[in-house]
């Protein structure tokens, strides 16, 4: 199949800023590159990238390939996938991984089709098979009820998207050095039939739900929209974001953007707090890979307790206010230290 080599990660930018989650990919990529004894290359397309290119080297990349062109400032899927196709055909990476975000879940499938290679969506773990050098891609399917291990044995690059939030970004080491290349691509590739005409920032969530370290979620047991304010307060104290079950969304207490589960978002935080959520399979599908799950429910038989690491059987209207108070006290203690 010719000389394919190197592990690539696709970094992301929005509105001229590198999206912080991109650095998580360097943890995934570094492991694979070390196992394959191959260089780790961060690829980023956008505009005004000069100032940030080095940050990938500091966090573990051996090389950065950047395409810095004003038309790429917006994530136009046709232009971005065309530029990536050009880069892949030129440099022939063996592995190319990206995040399972709105950007990469749009661009990577287009790229995979153009290159006629395999792409495994939303992986929760990646490994390398000794001997064959094949990427072992593991992902949940059917609402997390099944895990599948997938290989791309015949074509290269082997491509995968991975869940944001699953890995921590490597620490910065400003002494690391590496190569930074600003590539020029044929102008025709930058043309797009899609253009950005406006952007409305979501004011209710400072931290995107799928990228938050802590998610505080509420369900039908929250009873009304007003009590969600408690969850927003807890989320703020823990530097997290607020989620919800479909019931809570259907009742109109919070917008669909916060829905977690099969027909909502999949999250992967370090801590997931479920308050007044019964734990229907469709909800569990979106949060079962959280590192620690805390459940508060007054029904001791609620399904959510089966997936909880720590559960309280009790009334959330008694527990949440006390939790807020306790967290504030903890915050004060830390200030004093």
Report which of 120, 119, 111 is spatially closest to residue 87, judged by C-alpha positions: 111
* Residue that the structure tokens 């203690």 belong to: 333
Q: How many CA atoms lie within 13 A of 232 on its CB side?
A: 12
Site for other proteins in 175-194 (CB under 8 A): 193-194
The minimum distance between CB 26 and ligand FAD, in angstroms, equals 31
Which does residue 196 bind out of ligand FAD, other proteins, none, counting CB within 5 to 8 angstroms by kind?
Answer: other proteins
Please, which residue, 184 or 333, has the CB nearer to other proteins? 333
Site stretch for other proteins (CB under 8 A), options 25-33, 38-46, 120-128, 221-229? 120-128
Task: Examine residue 25 and tell whether it contacts other proteins (CB under 8 A).
Answer: no
Q: Dihedral, CA atoms, 269, 275, 280, 281, nearest 10 degrees?
A: 10
Distance CA 79, CA 69 (A): 11
Task: Examine residue 105 and tell whether it contacts other proteins (CB under 8 A).
Answer: yes
**Could you tell me which residues come within 8 angstroms of residue 272 by beta carbon, excluding any fewer than 6 positions away?**
214, 215, 217, 243, 287, 290, 292, 293, 294
The minimum distance between CB 259 and ligand FAD, in angstroms, equals 6
Task: Examine residue 257 and tell whether it contacts other proteins (CB under 8 A).
Answer: yes
The minimum distance between CB 146 and ligand FAD, in angstroms, equals 16
Task: Examine residue 306 and tell whether it contacts other proteins (CB under 8 A).
Answer: yes
Task: Examine residue 229 and tell whether it contacts other proteins (CB under 8 A).
Answer: no
Task: Examine residue 326 and tell whether it contacts other proteins (CB under 8 A).
Answer: yes
Task: Examine residue 120 and tell whether it contacts other proteins (CB under 8 A).
Answer: yes
Distance CA 118, CA 109 (A): 9
Which does residue 330 bind out of other proteins, ligand FAD, none, counting CB within 5 to 8 angstroms by kind?
Answer: other proteins
212: cis peptide before it, omega within 30°? no
Among 50, 89, 90, 148, binds other proteins (CB under 8 A): 148
The minimum distance between CB 328 and ligand FAD, in angstroms, equals 21
Write out the residues near ligand FAD by the rule CB under 6 A: 219-221, 245-248, 259-264, 276-278, 280, 282-283, 286, 296-299, 302, 315-317
The minimum distance between CB 11 and ligand FAD, in angstroms, equals 29
Distance CA 198, CA 79 (A): 19
* Paired sense of beta strands 95-99 and 7-10, if any: parallel
Which does residue 141 bind out of ligand FAD, other proteins, none, counting CB within 5 to 8 angstroms by kind?
Answer: other proteins
Under a CB-based contact definition with an 8 Å cutoff, are residues 245 and 271 in contact?
Answer: no
* Residue that the structure tokens 């799950």 belong to: 293
Please, which residue, 157 or 218, has the CB nearer to ligand FAD? 218
Rg, the chain, Cα only: 21
């Amino acid at each position: 199949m010719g000389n394919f080599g190197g592990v690539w990660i696709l970094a992301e930018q929005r509105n001229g800023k590198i999206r912080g989650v991109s650095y998580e990919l360097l943890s995934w990529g570094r492991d694979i590159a070390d196992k394959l004894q191959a260089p780790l290359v961060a690829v980023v397309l956008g505009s005004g990238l000069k100032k940030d290119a080095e940050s990938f080297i500091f966090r573990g990349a051996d090389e950065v390939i950047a395409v810095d062109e004003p038309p790429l400032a917006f994530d136009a899927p046709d232009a971005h996938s065309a530029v990536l196709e050009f880069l892949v055909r030129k440099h022939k990476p063996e592995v190319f991984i990206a995040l399972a975000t709105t950007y990469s879940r749009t661009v990577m499938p287009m790229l995979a089709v153009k290159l006629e290679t395999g792409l495994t969506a939303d992986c929760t773990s990646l490994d390398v098979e000794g001997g064959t050098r094949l990427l072992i891609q593991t992902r949940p399917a059917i609402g997390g009820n099944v895990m599948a291990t997938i290989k791309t044995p015949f074509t290269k690059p082997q491509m995968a998207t991975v869940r944001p939030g699953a890995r921590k970004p490597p620490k910065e080491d400003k002494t690391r050095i590496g190569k930074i290349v600003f590539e020029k691509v044929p102008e025709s590739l930058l043309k797009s039939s899609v253009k950005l005409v406006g952007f409305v920032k979501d004011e209710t969530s400072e931290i995107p739900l799928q990228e938050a370290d802590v998610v505080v979620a509420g369900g039908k047991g929250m009873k009304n929209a007003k009590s969600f304010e408690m969850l927003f307060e807890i989320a703020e104290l823990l530097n997290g974001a607020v989620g919800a079950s479909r019931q809570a969304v259907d009742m109109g207490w919070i917008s669909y953007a916060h829905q977690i589960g099969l027909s909502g978002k999949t999250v992967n935080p370090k801590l997931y707090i479920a308050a007044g959520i019964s734990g229907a399979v469709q909800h569990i599908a979106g949060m079962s890979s959280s590192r620690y799950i805390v459940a508060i429910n007054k029904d001791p038989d609620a399904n959510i307790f089966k997936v909880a690491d720590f559960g309280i059987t009790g009334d959330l209207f008694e527990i949440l206010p006390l939790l807020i108070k306790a967290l504030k006290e903890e915050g004060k203690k830390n200030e004093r230290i």
